[in-house]
Structures are given as structure tokens and as C-alpha cells.
Structure 1
Amino acid sequence: MDARFDAQKIAFGPVVFQCVRFAWKRGLLQTLAEAGEQGLSIEELAADGKFTVYALKLVLETCLSAGVVELRQGRYALDKTGFCLLSDPITQINLDFINDVCYQGLFELERSLDEEKPHGLSALGQWDTIYQGLAALPEPARESWLRFDHFYSDTSFPEILPDVFANRPRKLMDIGANTGKFTLAALGHDADVHMHLVDLPGQLTVIEKTLEEKGLSQRASLHPIDMLNPALDFPAGMDVIWMSQFLSCFSEGAITSILRRAAAALADGGRVMILDTLWDRQKHDIAAYCLINTSPYFTAMASGNSKVYRADDYIRLCAEAGLTLVQQRDGIGYCHSLLQFARTQ
């Protein structure tokens, strides 16, 4: 019976998601939190006219079934899961990301898996991959995507900068520079480093404006490159080549191509550093659960053929590209690992 109950939770998961999100976004959970342990009756909740009695009963009964609220003597109060929804930024960011970026597009997951194309992306815009349209994503999808992406990576940057600059690199390449968060952190950490930013033209246009506003444009070179074109080489002579939450955007074949070009672009003694969320290197099951279930986003919305990978996947693909693992560190920020590779001798 326990297994059968878990199966029904899966079957009705989308219903629960939308009802709980309604209760959170419309302030119903906050109202219950402010009421404290005594809770509120349906009549009291309906008194201000914000919600009909019908809407309150429907939404709160679903929240009750999910452990978000509890019902005692006809009065609803917030339960522990409800407090988590109100106070945990990771939960809130994940909810917004799934709803605003993924929810409609995931209806096309089956076709996306069959054809390895992100058919769900049409819910947001007409691009071949989401990366081509990041600068033009409609709101609230764009804001939710950025919060999701930055929340996880930003907590890691301060911790890994000593690793990146351990050998005082002078030429540092940021592949998949995104909005330039790592580049800005690196430029602020070492006044002598020169950054080389590799990304799609649309992304680099956004970064270029930020660098100009901060007076840093002379310390950075921009290289608009489509990473999926294996004929386009990366700038050579790099002391460090940095990739943060980047390779998960590509299929294994594309990753190998990117890594081969990265290996060729290294200066003697240079390192390729990969910071990523590897689901098999997590301390807690909850982190692995979240990462594993981010993979369908990559299928339906992002690229059609990428995912959240295991550490062994990157190590194997790097070996195929002529790179050898020299150092690995886990437990960075919320859920990151840093893998360092050198050119195979």
C-alpha cells in the first residue's frame, strides 16, 4: 500500500504542484504562517474577499494532502513543509524554474526523447536551443532561469577562486561565459589576469556591456564561437580554461569535441577546470534527487540531448579528448565539484 500511495503521488504530481504554487504565490501560505498555531477557518480566510470559499477549500485540501498545511478542528495551519516553502530559497527558486521555464514544455518530453530535440522550447520561443534565446527569453522565464543558474554557481565562486589562481594564471579562458559572473569574480580577484570569454554572440553582447560599464573591457577579449561547430578552434596559449555548469548543456559527442579543442588551447602546464553539479558526488540524497530531475529540462527545453552527468562521465570524456584528471574536490557551495585536468603526456 505504501508503494501504491507513492505511485498516486506521481500520478497527481502536476495537480499538487499547481495548487501548492497557487497557495504560495497568492499569499495564502503566508497568511497561515502569520496566524500561528491556532490557524484560521475557511470563513476567516474568505472574510477579506481575496479568495472564494470554493477556491480556498479546493487549494487547501490539496495542500493538506501534500503535508503543506494541517487541519485541526476545522482550522487550517501551516505544516513543516509549508514553512519550508516560505523560508527555503532553494525550494522557491526550484519551484519558479519548473513553473516558469519548464512546465509547459515538459509536455513535449516524450517527443524530445524520441528525437533528441528540445521540442518543448517552442513554449518560450523559436530557437534551436535555449542558449540561443537566453538574452530574449520572455519574463518571468528569463528571471527564473537566471536565478536558478546563478543561485547554485554564485555560492561556489568565492570558494574556488584560490584553486583557479593557485599558479597565478595570466591568460584565463571562460568557456560558456553566460552573463559574466565568473569573469567579473576572476577580474576582481587578480588585477593581472586577462580574461578570454567564449560564448554565443548574443550572450557576449550582454557581457560586453557589463564590462564597459565597470571599466574592465580592456582586460577581457571576447570570442564569439558556436561550440557545436567542431571546426572552430579556441584561442591558444591559455593557462587555465574554465567551464562552470557548462558541459551539461551538451551531448557526450559535443562534449568530447569541446574538450579536444580545450586541450589544444592549453599552454604548457595549463589546466582545464570543470565546476559542475555531479549527481553522484552529492553528500545528501535530496541534492542528488534535484539534480537527476533537472535532466529532463535539458531534454525538453535546452538542447534535446544533454543532462546532469556523473563525475565518471566527465573523466571518461576528458580521457578521450587527451586530458588526465589531476585533482578532484567535492562539497563546494551547495552541490558543486571541481575537477582539474592536465594534457595527457
Structure 2
Amino acid sequence: MKKELSAIDAKYEAQKIAFGPMYFQAVVALRELGILQFISNNRKGVSIETIIEKTGVSEYSVTLLLEAAEVLGVVEVEDDIIKISKIGFFLLKDEMTRVNINFMNDVCYLGAKNMTESFKNGKPEGLKVLGNWPTIYEGLSVLPEPAKTSWFEFDHYYSDNAFPEALKIVFRNNPKLIFDVGGNTGKWSFACCKHDPNVRLKILDLPVQLKVAQANATERNLLDRISFHPIDLLDRSQEIPKGADVIWMSQFLDCFSKEQIIQILENACYAASENTTLYILEPFFDNQNFPAAHHSLVATSLYFTIMANGNSKMYRVEVMKDLARQAGFEIVETYPLIGDSYHTILECKKRA
């Protein structure tokens, strides 16, 4: 049974929310000024005077940031000796945490002030801090730095770990032609080419994204095995071509609203034959082993609101299954949390 918070504890939790942005930026400053790394390097602990001397950061700055770090539990202070805590260790060394902080700071932070307007208007009103596009997808290849690097690191972190196990699943029936829908920079297509020397791929995406994927394929000498099909899947007049053994959608459908997902999947269903398999790879927030993953994925939905397109989100697994069924597919198999990842694969076939 969940323990009820006292009024004092509830008020304290409320202050964590109220001052959350300040404490977040304090952690970013601790990291970027090298203070947190210096403390970590001195495992037995270090004095404030030594931190000031060795980092070259002013006494004022070090004092304020360490006071914030102590409140957050990022450092432990005993007899004026500063030690890094487990939380501080994860802030420095954990890849998921590093990627999430950079994504929030470089991509989302300035735009987050526009969240209310984004909900009112159904548009990513925060995106204007990065560029003048209707959605972030038109601008991915030309995002200003460091937002561009942080966006792609975030995107790849939450997909790449799933690829080794996903390849085993997709290639069980030796597909000869795979459509990589929303192929982005081409990482899945390149992984497929490495996995099977005979497979051919067609990447379907917006023209601006295909330029990046094509450049990457050229660099890898894969133009003889990978072709490119420009398409805006929100335009009902543009159809997914027929002929694929596999239609692959990796972390793609979460970029759209429910209505748009049904539209895209109906397009895929029309293109599919009875022998075509549709695979949907998604990190469903209600199908996670650890609270850190659930927490991160729900926050990612808010990124979609303010920065991406204003109407998409991370979904529950049963919601996605229902949308696929509405579009004409049946769910043949569910592969939950494949490999060392946050992802589930839905294997779908066109309903007879």
C-alpha cells in the first residue's frame, strides 16, 4: 500500500518542481565547468579550497553550485570534504543520463517555455528557438549545433541497442527486399547490409533526410544495394510502393498522432502483399522494466509537443496494436524488450 505523504513532505516535493529548471541548469554548470569531474577524480574527497584552486572557477561559483549539488544529493559533504554520490556518478558516467541531459539542454530547454501554447495550438511552438520549420523533421539535417549532435545521439541511443536482436527477428525468413520507412540517417539499413550480404533496401523518408542517408550510403559504398524513395507520408496522394518482403518502422510511428498513424499504416497495408511482414519497433512507456526508462519516455512525449510536431507521443503497447488493427493488420507476434534495449517489436501481417 502506497504511503501517504505528509503535508510537509508534499510541500517539499512541490518545491522540487517549482525550482526544477534552476537545479537542472546547476547540474549542467557543474558538469561543464569541470567541477563534478574533478570531485569524481578525488574519490577520498576534496576540500572546496582545492576545487577552487584546481578548476580555476571562482569561490562564488563553486560555493553556490556545491550548495545546489548537496540539496540534489549529487555530492556528499562531511567535515568540509566533498565526495561524489551515486547520483553524481550516474550524472557523469551513465550514458542514458548523459544523452538525456544533453537532449534536454540543447534541444528542448529554451523551447519548453512554449509548452502551454503548443498544447493550445497543436503545434510545436518551442521549435522556433532552433529554426523556422513546421516540424523538427524538416530541419534535422540543418539543426544548429549543439542541438543537432544531441538530437541524433538521443535518437540513436534509444534505437541502436535494439538492432542486434531485431536483426535476428527480421531475417528469420531471409527477406530479399526491405523498406526502411522513416529511415533517417540510414543506420538500420546499413546494419541490414552488414548482417546479410544479399539483402537490398529502400529507404523511404522526406527528401531532406534522404540527402543525409544517401551521403552516408555513398561513404559506405552501398549505393548498389540501397535505393531511396522520397515521400511525405502525411500526404495521402503519396503511396508506399509495393514489392517489399519486409516493411520496417523503427521509432517512427511515435512521431505522429493516432489519426496519422492509422493513415500511414493504411498506406503500408495497401502496399503489402500476403507475404509482406510489417515490423514496428517502439519503446512503449508502459512496457519497461525500470522506472528510469518509464520516466524518460513520458518526458519524451512532452518533447514531441513543444519541439517536434505538437501532436505525437510515446504510446502504450496496446494502443499501438489497436491502431495497427484499425489499419488492416493483425498482430502475429509481440517481442517485448528485445536484447539490452527499451524496445518491443510488433510483427504484423495484412489481414486476409
Q: TM-score range by the shorter chain?
A: over 0.9
* Paired residue secondary structure (1:268): coil
Q: Does 1:43 align with 2:56?
A: no
Report the Cα offset of residue 164 of structure 1: 0.6
* Alpha-carbon distance in structure 1 between the residues aligned to 2:217 and 2:79: 60
* Alpha-carbon distance in structure 1 between the residues aligned to 2:219 and 2:93: 35
* Alpha-carbon distance in structure 1 between the residues aligned to 2:42 and 2:28: 20
Report the Cα offset of residue 48 of structure 1: 4.0
- Given candidates 18, 21, 27, the residue that maps to 1:11 is 18
State the Cα RMSD in Å: 1.1
The equivalent residue for 2:194 is 188
Q: Which moved more, 1:22-31 or 1:210-219?
A: 210-219
Q: Which moved more, 1:304-313 or 1:280-289?
A: 280-289
* Alpha-carbon distance in structure 2 between the residues aligned to 1:243 and 1:230: 18
After the TM superposition, which residues 221-232 of structure 1 pair with which residues of structure 2 at under 5 Å, given as runs? 221-232=227-238
Q: Does 1:173 align with 2:179?
A: yes
* Alpha-carbon distance in structure 2 between the residues aligned to 1:220 and 1:165: 17
Deviations 1:222-272, CA, capped at 9 Å, x for gaps? 110111111210010211100001001111111111000111111222111
Report the Cα offset of residue 41 of structure 1: 2.4
Deviations 1:261-320, CA, capped at 9 Å, x for gaps? 111111222111000110011111221111011111000000100001111111111111
* Alpha-carbon distance in structure 2 between the residues aligned to 1:277 and 1:163: 17
* Alpha-carbon distance in structure 1 between the residues aligned to 2:294 and 2:51: 38
The equivalent residue for 1:302 is 308
- Given candidates 276, 284, 294, the residue that maps to 2:282 is 276
After the TM superposition, which residues 65-104 of structure 1 pair with which residues of structure 2 at under 5 Å, given as runs? 65-104=71-110
The equivalent residue for 1:313 is 319
* Residues 1:90 and 1:56: Cα distance change in structure 2 (over 3 Å): same
* Alpha-carbon distance in structure 1 between the residues aligned to 2:308 and 2:349: 30
* Alpha-carbon distance in structure 2 between the residues aligned to 1:116 and 1:236: 33
The equivalent residue for 2:263 is 257
Q: Which moved more, 1:207-216 or 1:15-24?
A: 207-216
Deviations 1:178-228, CA, capped at 9 Å, x for gaps? 000000011111122211110000110111112122221121221101111
* Alpha-carbon distance in structure 1 between the residues aligned to 2:51 and 2:290: 38
* Alpha-carbon distance in structure 2 between the residues aligned to 1:191 and 1:267: 24
Report the Cα offset of residue 43 of structure 1: 2.0
Q: Which moved more, 1:295-304 or 1:264-273?
A: 264-273
Partner amino acid for 1:157?
Answer: F
* Alpha-carbon distance in structure 2 between the residues aligned to 1:151 and 1:7: 31
* Residues 1:23 and 1:309: Cα distance change in structure 2 (over 3 Å): same
After the TM superposition, which residues 131-280 of structure 1 pair with which residues of structure 2 at under 5 Å, given as runs? 131-280=137-286
Q: Which moved more, 1:224-233 or 1:136-145?
A: 224-233
* Alpha-carbon distance in structure 1 between the residues aligned to 2:42 and 2:219: 47
After the TM superposition, which residues 112-131 of structure 1 pair with which residues of structure 2 at under 5 Å, given as runs? 112-131=118-137
Partner amino acid for 2:292?
Answer: I
Report the Cα offset of residue 74 of structure 1: 1.7
Report the Cα offset of residue 47 of structure 1: 2.0
- The alignment covers a number of residue pairs equal to 344
* Alpha-carbon distance in structure 1 between the residues aligned to 2:174 and 2:86: 48
Report the Cα offset of residue 334 of structure 1: 2.2
The equivalent residue for 2:3 is none
* Paired residue secondary structure (1:9): helix
Give the % identical residues. 43
Report the Cα offset of residue 49 of structure 1: 6.5
TM-score normalised by length of structure 2: 0.96
Deviations 1:36-61, CA, capped at 9 Å, x for gaps? 22x22222222246211111111110
Deviations 1:59-107, CA, capped at 9 Å, x for gaps? 1100100000111112222111111111111101100000000000111
- Given candidates 322, 344, 347, the residue that maps to 1:337 is 344
* Alpha-carbon distance in structure 2 between the residues aligned to 1:293 and 1:127: 22
* Alpha-carbon distance in structure 2 between the residues aligned to 1:265 and 1:28: 56
* Paired residue secondary structure (1:222): strand
* Paired residue secondary structure (1:223): strand
Partner amino acid for 1:42?
Answer: I
* Alpha-carbon distance in structure 2 between the residues aligned to 1:339 and 1:320: 15
The equivalent residue for 1:64 is 70
* Alpha-carbon distance in structure 2 between the residues aligned to 1:184 and 1:50: 45
